[in-house]
Structure 1
């Protein structure tokens, strides 16, 4: 509601009161009623005029105008019962006397007639949802939109022109092409040269929005223009409220207009707000959806740019070919999963018969035996109890040899049954392993820096793993429009070589697994940092990983030192003897070095979870390009759901 007092009676400018309460606790007011407020908060939001807002301790007392007596009689009889409030302190007698004085002396020229007030109240209650995507806007509508500014503002003095987009398409928008944007930026599309004279630099008007019919021009007048001039720049996400949608002067394309709120009791109301995109907890879900569309558009645009560069300037259209092999594999798996269960495990009433009961009893017995064997195996292996992992999948444990084994899919080609090798399978495993090696060679390099970009706010963003594993992230990083200033974050990224923990004598199999930022946080319980400067985090990390791999780090550094010393010595020269009477020390040391170059692994094994996936890599050999034009799948293994306890 809008209120005014003696200090603003001649300006016809009031102050807004925002009440945040349940509907039953909001008082009913009429035109010219007097409102007495206690413990109300003063606020200013987004360059709008000062306003009032209630809180839990706010007391609102309403005096009916029709019952307020002549001054100096107190107005206690005009006080309404407080809606939904009990045991609230009543105003003092001096307050009632002041209400009477206030009502009888103030100029009531700003108070609307009763009929007009009721109409305004009805309209205020019937609030329409005005938010709209640009793809849904139409002529003569007033909309609230959340959009990105496609280029720096164009200042005409009394008004400002914006080019905005939410990455949805509208057939009534102007079709912005690459050539058209160049003309717009250079001013060559202006036959009189007005725009070219107002240009400051080529970079100032850089277009950062989408091409096609995805952007709309919006003209903004005061008081909105002042805020835009001071706070808005290309690439910002803004909220524009009460934007009028109309046809442009050419009569062909829709445009927007943001004018002054003339019929509002509060003048100079600003309907422009720059939106924050860094806080995942407070971001508007509608803004997050728009950023997600921006990300998808950026990926598609980068893909098209790569295609154009590959064709060396020749226009080339290559539809998205579907991998026929993958289709056949999917159909084979689907048909395999649709096997009919033709068993007679139930009787006519639907209850399990004796055969089904015996089958269930055998399954329970087998499961009990497997659990006992697993427990016995853990005792034999001597697993590290400080390393825990998620509930293992079925089957419970896998051998490393079976994890790295090439998988095949039986299919039919030209009537012949063949076994088709699969580039990878999406699968999860649980295995008993020990760490025998790691990369990078120094713990200081286990964390790496990364530039912050605007897509980090999305929960379904590919994140550091995909961006580091696939070459397609290079295209995104080249686009300065997705960068967020020069802010840098540190992320974990390292790899572990795991060896099968088997009591058998044969040589155990090994596999390299990648540990991405999220899984490293789970594993170590630490956030990544610059380990070359943060000595405390480095020491804690070294202590945590010692629990995981024992003396692997010391052994690795010893090996590296041995190799460095070997490179420094001349070819064929033996290391100097350690004792003067060591006549044959050279040959013995060479022999000993060869034997101890790879010490026996003695650290404790543990149980961990491993997943198999794949990333796309560039491939010039078309025979090996099984992931689309010029790409192949590279099988990868990653650690997940594993934690070092304390």
Structure 2
């Protein structure tokens, strides 16, 4: 057959593949070499997947396409290998490492069955021989334009160049076909196999999907393989037994002896038979090196589980896909509360951490928490810098940091200090509009407001009440004493668990290590406030209350995002925070630094009072079984909200 060029406004499949990530729509013509019968997705859409090939596609089998529709009748009528498919307005996207042509609302299609290709000589023949988008549907529905002479000639040309021997055989009966046959015969359709498995249920010589946490990753840039050590905190007898007295064998070498022996590094846990080694081949290996690190939650698809070369331990392998070598079966999972598998894993991990602590075994919640030895030259450099710092410059730098905050002490005092601090409010602090009358601290704390009567007339007292108040207060103290501790770490993994489960102690975390997305930061500090109105009796102090400032209420108060304020990288944020707080409480910080006792602060306050919003609620007391009889199982908490500097 005479060669035919690619028609105008069409591109080859190789060019279509290069459109990935551009979101550009294109038109292609290809010969179907493989297809799957239509299925229904989790979103109740109908979907068909097929593979197209043309003479310019250099690697077998071809480019895969996937079309979606609300009704099956609008899907491409691909019925056999050799059918010519014309697609318009399609995009190429990356789906889990695989480049696919995907349909959208503007896409349409036309299929020339292989059995009718020889009989089609003109566009008029297509009316009876071809299938297209919208055929047989009322005319008001969008119709696919029939191919012109150049497009039809090209379609027949590429079909004639195809070698059916290279297509491969289709499965004799696909799962949807088997399902239809069984149901039409009055039988029960076979249950679709779920390849997901916990480590405790793995069996050799089978393929599974595995979800777990990477505790260690090992690779050498000179070799294409990557080895990861995965756990989801279930046990399996046929796994390596990690003991807390020694490091794991083979972690820093390779079983084939390609690499030189390296010193064994410390194992972060878990101990026992809970971790499986999975070897990743390309392209999974390269992708893993890009996106995976210790502590990541990953989902591995199609992992070949087998016994090791000694026949005693289970191990996993992610092979290269023989059908499509570009498929990547490694995916990093960002956990969320609706992810039941992630929730279960974190819950099991928390239970294991408690068990390890009770047994005296060192377990690092994150592998990043493991202490790392610093290089000698790095230590010498740090010490040299510390010795070279002139002490006389510290005060000058502190003053410069205040100036960089955008406001001087003299300017700030104009809104804070005054000879009559009792009568004038702090104009630097505002609160949201809340239509309730002001209430003094003494009235808020009045325990008689908690007293109730039963229908029989018996008195009882509530541990707390869920109320919101507006009050006029001034700050007289704060805690912690070091403002750098106003922001605290939060384990984002624990956000998946309920409040009853989330009781992890973060005090042991080494905050100098990189924890990735696992550790977040939030505000958590207390303000000791007192009524703005001074008592009439001489020498008497106003009633005081502790106010918690936490999480998003702290973001609103400070108009700042919490971070690790002890990290030198955030020195500028710490300086800005101190200047911001000066607007709230005046020279209170300087007074605390100059005095060693709270009593020394018992002087006339220098800060003006401000109006704020307070919410009261109860917090369950931990270990409530040990509480004294007659006391409440709840702590009464007062928290600042809706107030901003």
| Structure 2 length-normalised TM | 0.58
1:534/1:141 Cα in 2 relative to 1: closer, same or farther (>3 Å)?
same
Is the 8 Å Cα contact of residues 149 and 165 (structure 1) preserved in structure 2?
yes
1:172/1:501 Cα in 2 relative to 1: closer, same or farther (>3 Å)?
farther
2:482 matched to 1:437?
no
Match of 2:54?
Answer: 6
Task: Give 1:242 deviation, angstroms.
Answer: 0.8
For residues 201-229 of structure 1, the C-alpha deviation after alignment (integer angstroms, 9 at most, x for no partner) is 444xx433411222123344455445446
Task: Give 1:241 deviation, angstroms.
Answer: 0.7
Note the residue ranges of structure 1 that are not aligned, 5 or more in a row. Answer: 309-381, 408-421, 547-552, 565-593, 618-624, 628-632
Distance between the aligned counterparts of 2:79 and 2:601, measured in 1? 97
> Match of 2:106, SS?
coil
Match of 1:496?
Answer: 527
For residues 387-428 of structure 1, the C-alpha deviation after alignment (integer angstroms, 9 at most, x for no partner) is 567999xxxx964253999x9xxxxxxxxxxxxxx9x96775
1:38 aligns with one of 88, 91, 109:
88
Match of 1:22?
Answer: 70
1:305/1:484 Cα in 2 relative to 1: closer, same or farther (>3 Å)?
farther
For residues 144-180 of structure 1, the C-alpha deviation after alignment (integer angstroms, 9 at most, x for no partner) is 1122233232679575543211222334434322235
Distance between the aligned counterparts of 1:595 and 1:59, measured in 2? 77
Match of 1:642?
Answer: 641
1:180/1:61 Cα in 2 relative to 1: closer, same or farther (>3 Å)?
farther
2:604 aligns with one of 589, 594, 598:
598
> Match of 2:174, SS?
helix
Match of 1:99?
Answer: 155
Is the 8 Å Cα contact of residues 140 and 245 (structure 1) preserved in structure 2?
yes
Task: Give 1:527 deviation, angstroms.
Answer: 3.7
1:108 aligns with one of 146, 151, 164:
164
Distance between the aligned counterparts of 1:165 and 1:434, measured in 2? 54
2:305 matched to 1:245?
yes
2:615 matched to 1:609?
yes
Question: What is the aligned-residue RMSD (CA, Å)?
Answer: 5.5
Match of 1:212?
Answer: 272
Task: Give 1:258 deviation, angstroms.
Answer: 2.6
Match of 2:515?
Answer: 483
Distance between the aligned counterparts of 1:131 and 1:645, measured in 2? 49
Farther off after superposition, 31-40 or 66-75: 66-75
2:211 aligns with one of 119, 142, 146:
146
2:329 matched to 1:271?
yes
Distance between the aligned counterparts of 2:309 and 2:436, measured in 1? 65
Distance between the aligned counterparts of 1:79 and 1:391, measured in 2? 74
Structure 1 segment 107-126 matched on structure 2, within 5 A: 107-112=163-168, 116=171, 119=174, 122=177
2:559 matched to 1:514?
no
Distance between the aligned counterparts of 1:112 and 1:640, measured in 2? 69
For residues 501-543 of structure 1, the C-alpha deviation after alignment (integer angstroms, 9 at most, x for no partner) is 8999786532222212233235566544779746997699569
> Match of 2:85, SS?
strand
> Match of 1:473, SS?
coil
For residues 462-488 of structure 1, the C-alpha deviation after alignment (integer angstroms, 9 at most, x for no partner) is 99x988xxxx422244796x8228x99
Distance between the aligned counterparts of 1:199 and 1:390, measured in 2? 72
> Match of 1:242, SS?
strand
Is the 8 Å Cα contact of residues 283 and 325 (structure 2) preserved in structure 1?
no
1:293/1:425 Cα in 2 relative to 1: closer, same or farther (>3 Å)?
farther
| Structure 1 length-normalised TM | 0.58
Is the 8 Å Cα contact of residues 143 and 244 (structure 1) preserved in structure 2?
yes
Greater fraction of residues in helix: 1
Task: Give 1:14 deviation, angstroms.
Answer: 0.9
Task: Give 1:233 deviation, angstroms.
Answer: 4.7
Distance between the aligned counterparts of 1:427 and 1:434, measured in 2? 21
1:403/1:195 Cα in 2 relative to 1: closer, same or farther (>3 Å)?
farther
> Match of 1:475, SS?
coil
2:260 matched to 1:198?
yes
Is the 8 Å Cα contact of residues 454 and 484 (structure 1) preserved in structure 2?
no
Task: Give 1:134 deviation, angstroms.
Answer: 2.1
Is the 8 Å Cα contact of residues 388 and 608 (structure 1) preserved in structure 2?
no
Aligned length: 484
Task: Give 1:66 deviation, angstroms.
Answer: 1.9
2:229 matched to 1:163?
yes
Is the 8 Å Cα contact of residues 41 and 54 (structure 1) preserved in structure 2?
yes
Distance between the aligned counterparts of 2:313 and 2:97, measured in 1? 32
Distance between the aligned counterparts of 2:634 and 2:510, measured in 1? 24
Distance between the aligned counterparts of 2:435 and 2:239, measured in 1? 52
